[in-house]
Amino acid sequence: MSHKILELQSVDAGYNGKTVIRGADLEVFTDDFIGVIGPNGGGKTTLLKVILGVIKPLKGKVIYHNLSDGKQGKRIGYLPQFNMVDSKFPISALEVVLSGLMPRHGLFRKYRREDTAAARSMMEKMGIAHLENKVIGELSGGQMQRVFLGRALISSPRLLVLDEPNTFVDNQFEGELYELLRRLNQEMAIMLATHDLGTITPYVKTIACVNREVHYHRSNVITEKQLSAYHCPIQLITHGDVPHTVLKKHQK
């Protein structure tokens, strides 16, 4: 049974007094797999941050249903936009995965043996068990993303939020990532932001287009006409007999 886990009601949000997104309405259900598309600077990351609760909406409401477990905080996993980690930072891959328990443990709860065991089995699921003791800076882009995905998943989230997970990773990892997400989607809702709609279309169930406003389209079929109506300039690959790319520029 699918039920609602998250609701945005006419939300305005932004930073330093500047409104980035206006009047966003969105509903997320337990079995959703939403592709969040839109141009860079259109507000994809802002939308995700509102959902994560990092920024409070300037107007409107964000409602969580069964997403918070009291002390444990919100059951949301998060894969941030690829950020250059300090390649010399002295931390092992296993510790990075373990750090995903930080929101649940807070300041004072001790990390126990079962936590380390959970991190190990998570690394096994991600196919990176052999990298446990490697320092994070020694890993390749794809391996690093797997470690960060492990960090996001170790707290068994009900909603997984990914911000541009396909930047700086090889095509092989990208394919594996999407297959993995398809499997994960049986247990949790997924929201994935990307500016490259092409490769993700077959995997997502629905599409939200974010360009200052949020247009939610409850289908993964999206036409060029709809995109232009949304003012959503995006690279679109249609899946026909002969795949071709249509590039629409935003016109004022």
Partner 1 sequence: MTDLLQYDFFVHAIWAALFTSITCGVIGTYIVSNRIVFLSGGITHSSFGGIGLGYFLGINPLLGAAGFSVLSALGIEYFSRKGELRHDSVIGIWWSFGMALGIIFIYITPGYAPNLMTYLFGSILTVSSVDLGYMGVLSAVVVLFFILFYRIILYISFDEAYARVFGMPVALMKNVMISLVALTIVVNIKVVGIILLISLLTIPQSIANQFTRIFSRMIIYSTAIALIGVVSGLLISYALEIPSGASIIFALVVLFVLTKAVVVARRKELLPGSRQD
Closer of 28 and 234 to partner 1 (Cβ):
28
Q: Which residues of 1-31 are buried (b: 16+ CB within 10 A; e: fewer)?
A: eeeebbebeebebbeeeeebbbebebebbbb
The residue with tokens 């006409």 is 225
Question: Residues 47-86: x/- map of binding to partner 1 (CB under 8 A)?
Answer: --x--xxx------------------x----x-x--x-xx
237 binds partner 1 (CB under 8 A): no
Near partner 1 by CB under 8 A, which window of 21-29, 97-105, 200-208, 241-249?
97-105
99 binds partner 1 (CB under 8 A): yes
241 binds partner 1 (CB under 8 A): no
213 CB-contact burial (10 Å; exposed 0-12 / middle 13-18 / buried 19+): middle
Closer of 23 and 80 to partner 1 (Cβ):
80
Minimum CB separation of residue 175 from partner 1 in Å reads 26
Nearest by Cα to 160 from 194, 125, 185, 126: 185
Interaction residues for partner 1, span 179-208 (CB under 8 A): none
- Identify whether the C-beta of residue 126 lies closer than 8 Å to the C-beta of residue 176: no
Closer of 96 and 181 to partner 1 (Cβ):
96
Angle between helix 171-184 and helix 141-153 axes, rounded to 10 deg: 10
Q: Element (H or E) spanning 18, and its range?
A: strand 18-29
Question: Contact residues for partner 1 (CB under 8 A)?
Answer: 49, 52-54, 73, 78, 80, 83, 85-86, 88-92, 95-96, 98-99, 102-103, 105, 107-108, 111, 135-136, 151
